[in-house]
Each structure stands twice: as structure tokens, then as C-alpha cells.
């Protein structure tokens, strides 16, 4: 491999909920890497791409300051840094490119179980504890509510019991942490997932090309995640119904079957998961010899 081309730097979370997903995504994009002894760096062996492993909260800043070209973090962190920054002002020198369909959670306002709640008007004049003051204040401004934001950096869920706040605004995925703290969700402030961001800075052409190539591969990985290749035999007379039942497929390939005038083979890529119910419905419509295969790679 050439050594003189500029190397792309991607910041991802060092150790947390997003780490495995990010490394898996980059591997699926074809990146082979070796990790440094201190585990702060992964060196790309077959592409000019290096990975910086950092705290998720530092990722937008590293990309905005052009230390890294790309970064992957939760939209909750990305929007918070964009709206509120990290003490040194809001960060704006980066662009959100796309969501990555992992790390799903939501930033919610939660109320103690025994507190009455009648819509956002109930928040007026109340204290809300959060580590997302930027995203929360945008929500309050959009809703036309004035409330006091109490900045909490960790264990937000205990704020009401400590008498420090009336409500909390925190991340939720299953909701069991809220339930364990006698809290219930009352408003969704932000739906979040991991997303990829890119610096606004002008980059050399080689880097831009690699970014485009990587984004195209990410697109391919996203598409195949749910996609299946389905093969089946079908009566010619039921082709319209069978094509309709194939989930998210474009025009299927129809092939003749040796010695069978009435039946054909149908091959199709389904861009949605194929469930047992789908196969049962296809069988009902006359399909037989059904095979569902995972799709390894896809390029439009
Ligand atoms: O060390 P570093 O700063 O990098 O990590 P971190 O501790 O700040 O982040 P981490 O690894 O906990 O989460 C990284 C990202 O994962 C977040 O910024 C979100 O985008 C996303 N994510 C997805 C979540 C959750 N799901 C989640 N459930 N982040 C946090 N939680 C918390 C939630 O607030 C609750 O306290 O996990 C707890 C369990 O949630 P329930 O609802 O399932 O009980
Ligand atoms: Zn963090």
C-alpha cells in the first residue's frame, strides 16, 4: 500500500455501548486494523484509515476541531455539543451525515410515579435535572414552556429523591432504570441512534475520495443488514400475488423450470427481513421449495 497518501482519522467510542458496533461496522466495510498497545488507536492495514478511541463526549469536538475527519457518536451527544458545547461554546464545524441504526435510545422527560402530569403545561416553573441542557432547552423553547434546568452530570435519576429536581430528562432504552427509581416517561425530547459526522474543513482530494468510498460501503452494509435473497418455485398463475408478498423486493428474476410449463423459479432480493409468516403466506399462495439466504455484500 502507498504510504504517502493522507490518512483518514475516525473517532469512535473507546469503551462503551457503541464501541463493538463501530468496530464491527468498519470491519464490514473491509477495514483490517491492528490496535495499539495502549488501545487508544487502531491502525488501518489495508486502507489509509486510522481509528482514534476516545470518550464519546469528546468525539464532536475532535471532529469540529479537525483533529479527526469523521466521528461516530449518539445523536444525543452530537446535538448536545452542537447546541450547548462543552463549556467552550457550541460546536458547529461539523456535519451530520447519516444515522447508523444502532445505539437506539430516546432522551425523555420522566416524572415521579406519584406526581400528576397533564401534558407539557405541567412542566412550567418546575425544576428538571439533566446532563443534556442544550437539547432540553431547545425542546422547552419549541414547546413554549419556561422551566428551570438543573445541570446534573451523572445519576440523574436520583435527583427527584434528593429533592434537587421535580422531573428528570435522561436517556432511556428499556425503561427499567426509570422503573427502578419510581419514575415514568412523560415526554420524548429526542429519538437517538448512533450517527456519523464529518468535519466542515476542506480536505485533500484523496481524503474526500476515501470518505466517499467509506460512506458508500456503510450504505451497502446498512442495506444488507436486513436484506435476504429468496428463491422459490411458484405457479405461473400466482406470480402477481407472490411478487406482492415478497417484502421490499424490486422486480424479481423469473426463470423457467425444466419440464414444467405451469411453474417457474422466482429469485428476489428482499430489503426487509423475511419472517416465518411471510413464508407461510407465500406457501398459501402456491409457492414451494423456498430458500432464504443472507446477503453478504450489495452495491447498487
Ligand atoms: O465513557 P464514555 O463517556 O465514552 O461513555 P458513556 O458512559 O457516556 O456512554 P455509554 O457507553 O453509556 O453510551 C454511549 C451512547 O449509547 C449514548 O450516548 C447513547 O447514544 C447510546 N445509548 C443507547 C445509551 C443507552 N442506549 C442507554 N440505555 N446510553 C445510555 N443508556 C443508559 C440509560 O440512560 C440508563 O441509565 O443506560 C441505562 C439503562 O437504560 P434502560 O432504559 O434500559 O434501563
Ligand atoms: Zn460519555
Q: What ligand is nearest to the CA atom of residue 193?
A: 1
Question: Above 70 in pLDDT, residue 5?
Answer: yes
Name residues whose C-beta falls within 8 Å of residue 89's C-beta, 6 or more positions apart in sequence.
Answer: none
56-73 pLDDT tens trace:
999 999 999 999 999 999
Question: CATH code for 228-294?
Answer: 3.30.70.120
Same fold, 8-102+194-223 and 105-191: yes
**Ligand 1 atom at minimum distance from 172 CA:** 42
Q: Is 60 in the pocket of ligand 1 (CB under 6 A)?
A: no
Q: Is 54 in the pocket of ligand 1 (CB under 6 A)?
A: no
* CATH class of the 105-191 domain in this structure: alpha beta
Name the closest-CA residue to atom 13, ligand 1. Answer: 17
Q: Which residues of 63-92 are buried (b: 16+ CB within 10 A; e: fewer)?
A: bbeeebbbbbbbbbbbbbbbbbbeeeeebe
Question: Which class for 174: exposed (0-12), middle (13-18), buried (19 or more C-beta within 10 A)?
Answer: exposed
Nearest atom of ligand 1 to the alpha carbon of 156: 36
- Give domain 8-102+194-223's CATH architecture: 3-Layer(aba) Sandwich (3.40)
Examine the pLDDT at 102 and tell me if it is beyond 80: yes
Instruction: Output the pLDDT for position 251.
Output: 87
Q: Taking the domains of the chain in order of start, what are their residue ranges?
A: 8-102+194-223, 105-191, 228-294
pTM tops 0.95, yes or no: no
Question: Tens of pLDDT along 113-122?
Answer: 999 999 999 9
CA–CA separation, 13 and 52 (whole Å)? 8
Amino acid at each position: 500500500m502507498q504510504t504517502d497518501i493522507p490518512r483518514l482519522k475516525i473517532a469512535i467510542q473507546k469503551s462503551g455501548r457503541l464501541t463493538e458496533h463501530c468496530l464491527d461496522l468498519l470491519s464490514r466495510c473491509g477495514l483490517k486494523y491492528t490496535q495499539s498497545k495502549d488501545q487508544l488507536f487502531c491502525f488501518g492495514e489495508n486502507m489509509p484509515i486510522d481509528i482514534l478511541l476516545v470518550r464519546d463526549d469528546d468525539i464532536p469536538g475532535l471532529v469540529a476541531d479537525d483533529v479527526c475527519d469523521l466521528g461516530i457518536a449518539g445523536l444525543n451527544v452530537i446535538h448536545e455539543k452542537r447546541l450547548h458545547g462543552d463549556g467552550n461554546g457550541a460546536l458547529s464545524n461539523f456535519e451530520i451525515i447519516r444515522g447508523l441504526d444502532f445505539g437506539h435510545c430516546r432522551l425523555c422527560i420522566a416524572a415521579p410515579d406519584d406526581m400528576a402530569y397533564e401534558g407539557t403545561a405541567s412542566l412550567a416553573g418546575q425544576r428538571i435535572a439533566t446532563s443534556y441542557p442544550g437539547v432540553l432547552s431547545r425542546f422547552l423553547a419549541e414547546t413554549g414552556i419556561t422551566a428551570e434546568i438543573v445541570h446534573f452530570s451523572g445519576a440523574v435519576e436520583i435527583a427527584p429523591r434528593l429533592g434537587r429536581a421535580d422531573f428528570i430528562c435522561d436517556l432511556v432504552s428499556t425503561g427499567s432504570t426509570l422503573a427502578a427509581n419510581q419514575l415514568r416517561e412523560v415526554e420524548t425530547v429526542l429519538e437517538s441512534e448512533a450517527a456519523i459526522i464529518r468535519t466542515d474543513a476542506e480536505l485533500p482530494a484523496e481524503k474526500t475520495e476515501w470518505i466517499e468510498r467509506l460512506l458508500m460501503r456503510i450504505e451497502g452494509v446498512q442495506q444488507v443488514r436486513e436484506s435476504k435473497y429468496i428463491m422459490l418455485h411458484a405457479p405461473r398463475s400466482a406470480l402477481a400475488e407472490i411478487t406482492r408478498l415478497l417484502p421490499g423486493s424490486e422486480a424479481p428474476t423469473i426463470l423457467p423450470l425444466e419440464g414444467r410449463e405451469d411453474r417457474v423459479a422466482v429469485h428476489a432480493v428482499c430489503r426487509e427481513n423475511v419472517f416465518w409468516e411471510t413464508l407461510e403466506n407465500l406457501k398459501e399462495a402456491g409457492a414451494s421449495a423456498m430458500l432464504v439466504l443472507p446477503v453478504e455484500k450489495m452495491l447498487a
